[in-house]
Amino acid sequence: MKKFAALLLTVAALMGFSSCGEDNPGNGEAAAYSFSFDGVEMRPGDKAAPVLEALAGHSPQSSVKASCLSGLSGEDVTYVLPGFRIQTFRQQEGDADEQIRLIILSDDSVATPEGVAIGAEAQAVKDTYGAPSEETEFRLAYTRGSMRLVFGLREGKVTNISYEVLE
């Protein structure tokens, strides 16, 4: 009986080690959440140029304003595409290091790769992503690597979804 109990403990420990992959919030950039549109994968922290080039066929509309990032001079740029927006930071126009800072899903024509869209029930989000890192009546937030995936809520339903870089 003692050997059987020891075997069960060993199997349980091995299962615990094998679950330390992509769902572990402290597991680094490979574990970061991503958004995909028309076969183009993107996440906050990525360089914007390859993403914007791949999405050029969708003719994103853009607007530019002085950056609101504290201590940095540069520009915040918003690119509007069907169902979502990409917000970036750059030092100046043509900056090769322009970086995606935020991706905001704005309607139910798009969804997370896991299938959650605006209008989903809060419980469906929890069923899909597990226990949130932060939970209030108005939001569910999941932190992974250097980013956060946030589901805005109203009356228990998702009203907005954002992928954010952590400062």
Quick: pLDDT tens for 131-161: 999 999 999 999 998 899 999 999 999 999 9
Q: What percent of the chain has pLDDT over 90?
A: 68
* SS (HEC) of 97-139: CCEEEEEEECCCCCCCCCCCCCCCEHHHHHHHHCCCCEEECCE
Element holding 52 (H helix, E strand) = helix 48-54
- Does the pLDDT at position 119 exceed 90? yes
Q: Please state the rounded mean pLDDT for residues 84-95.
A: 91
Q: Mean pLDDT score of the chain, rounded to an integer? A: 83
Confidence class of residue 91 from pLDDT cuts 50, 70 and 90?
confident
User: At residue 12, does pLDDT exceed 50?
Assistant: no
pLDDT at 8 exceeding the cut of 60: no
Banded pLDDT at 95 (limits 50, 70, 90): confident
Closest CA to 133 of 145, 115, 121, 116: 145
Q: What is the model's pLDDT at position 123?
A: 97
User: What is the structure's pLDDT at 146?
Assistant: 87
Q: What is the CATH number of domain 29-165?
A: 3.40.33.10
Average pLDDT over residues 27-33: 56
Mean pLDDT value of segment 28-34: 64
Please return the burial class of 66, using the count of CB atoms within 10 Å of its CB with bins 0-12, 13-18 and 19+.
Answer: exposed
Residue range 39-68, pLDDT digits in tens: 999 999 999 999 999 999 999 999 999 887
Q: If you average pLDDT over residues 18-22, what whole number do you get?
A: 31
Distance CA 96, CA 122 (A): 39
pLDDT recorded at residue 68: 76
Q: What is the mean pLDDT of residues 7-21?
A: 33
